[in-house]
């Protein structure tokens, strides 16, 4: 039987997402009720981090522990991973010792090669191109607050990054639309858009992209690994901050999301992220719950 991986949003069908979302509701309820639930007793997750993390590490590690299993953290400093061992070899070895693997790395090609040589499911914990676990949490958070996301409009304000590409794939699967506004020089790379995806519209002006939106979302402007470009980015992104004026253009019941970490006064104004439309703390917490459902499903 083919091994099921979660390397990008398009790896799952709508039926699979609906199953995982339903399981998330149940697993979250158990967590809130302090109910012991150990479907992954004696199972082991290995987490490979080539880039830093707070939320992803914490949610996978805590989640695996809460499901009765164990999580092992590996990074490139304290293992052989940063010393030239081929990812194909690392995948073979890890997948003979563990039941599931999460990888945070640079290029999607690396995780694709890793998955090809793994005997167990591999989850993408972020690559330069995709961040499917975060978008799963975001979609779940939207559904929790507002019901179905089908037919809704999501405004993406910021550069074309891994979150945007995952949102574009999710729009195709769940049947919603994305209004995209990226600064000049940070536009969508068409090679990362699924052919035939017509579920998005590009706007030159970020305020226009917010008109009629049910959800406005952005991300940190300085992505991991691009810190040296910070000054140039801040200049290019002038005017792209999600502030109260932009939220006013969205629907009255629009939500605001940010996958965090956030920089108040850069990509988002404090009045928005700390305001009544913001659901960023639920969004962050839901990483834990959706990933527990994902781990249960894949293992």
99 vs 138, beta carbon nearer ligand CP: 138
**249 has binding-site annotation:** no
Catalytic, out of 43, 130, 131, 289 = 131
Least CB distance to ligand CP at residue 69 (A) = 20
Active site residue 42: no
Q: How far is the CB of 22 from ligand CP (least distance, A)?
A: 24
Neighbours of 189 (CB within 10 A): 11
Check binding of 134 to ligand CP (CB under 6 A): yes
Q: How far apart are CA 64 and CA 56, in angstroms?
A: 12
Q: How far is the CB of 288 from ligand CP (least distance, A)?
A: 12
- Asked if 104 is an active-site residue, the reply is yes
Active site residue 210: no
Query: Which residue's entry shows tokens 């998005």?
Result: 200
**Residue 25 assigned ligand-binding role:** no
Enter the tokens of residue 232.
Answer: 């140039």
Nearest to 256 by CA among 166, 156, 152: 156
Residue 132 is assigned to a ligand binding site: yes
Size (the chain), residues: 299
Q: Is 55 in the site for ligand CP (CB under 6 A)?
A: yes
What is d(CA 264, CA 236) in angstroms, rounded to the nearest whole number? 17
- DSSP per-residue string spanning 197-247: --SEEE-SSHHHHHTT-SEEEE--SS-TT-GGGHHHHHHHTTT--B-HHHH
SS3 per-residue string spanning 131-147:
CHHHHHHHHHHHHHHHC
Q: Is 131 a catalytic residue?
A: yes
53 binds ligand CP (CB under 6 A): yes
Q: Which of residues 157, 259, 269, 290 is near ligand CP by CB under 6 A?
A: 259
C-beta of residue 259 within 8 angstroms of C-beta of residue 233: no
| # binding residues, ligand CP (CB under 6 A) | 8
Q: Does residue 54 bind ligand CP (CB under 6 A)?
A: yes
Any binding-site annotation on 260?
yes
Residue 145 annotated as binding? no
Residues with a known catalytic role: 104, 131, 134, 219, 259, 287
Residues that bind ligand CP (CB under 6 A): 53-56, 126, 134, 259-260
Residue ranges for the known binding site for carbamoyl phosphate are: 53-56, 80, 104, 131-134, 259-260, 287
């Amino acid at each position: 039987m083919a091994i099921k991986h979660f390397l990008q949003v398009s790896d799952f069908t709508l039926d699979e997402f609906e199953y995982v979302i339903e399981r998330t509701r149940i697993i979250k309820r158990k967590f809130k009720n302090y109910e012991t639930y150990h479907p992954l007793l004696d199972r082991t997750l290995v987490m490979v981090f080539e880039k830093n993390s707070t939320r992803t590490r914490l949610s996978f590690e805590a989640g695996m522990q809460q499901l009765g299993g164990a999580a092992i953290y590996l990074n490139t400093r304290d293992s052989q991973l940063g010393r030239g061992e081929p990812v194909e070899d690392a995948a073979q070895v890890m997948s003979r010792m563990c039941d599931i693997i999460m990888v945070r790395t640079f290029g999607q090609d690396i995780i694709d090669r890793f998955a090809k040589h793994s005997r167990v499911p591999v989850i993408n914990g972020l690559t330069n191109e995709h961040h499917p676990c975060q978008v799963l949490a975001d979609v779940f958070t939207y559904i929790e607050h507002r019901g179905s996301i089908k037919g809704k409009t999501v405004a993406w304000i910021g550069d074309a990054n891994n979150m945007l590409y995952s949102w574009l794939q999710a729009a195709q699967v769940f049947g919603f639309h994305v209004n995209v506004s990226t600064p000049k020089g940070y536009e969508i790379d068409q090679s990362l858009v699924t052919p035939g995806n017509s579920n998005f519209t590009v706007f030159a002006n970020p305020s226009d992209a917010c008109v009629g939106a049910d959800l406005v979302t952005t991300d940190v402007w300085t992505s991991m690994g691009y810190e040296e470009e910070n000054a140039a980015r801040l200049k290019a992104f002038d005017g792209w901050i999600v502030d109260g004026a932009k939220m006013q253009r969205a629907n009255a019941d629009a939500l605001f999301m940010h996958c965090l970490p956030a920089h108040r006064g850069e990509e988002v104004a404090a009045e928005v992220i700390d305001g009544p439309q913001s659901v960023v703390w639920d969004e962050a917490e839901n990483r834990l719950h959706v990933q527990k459902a994902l781990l249960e499903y894949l293992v």
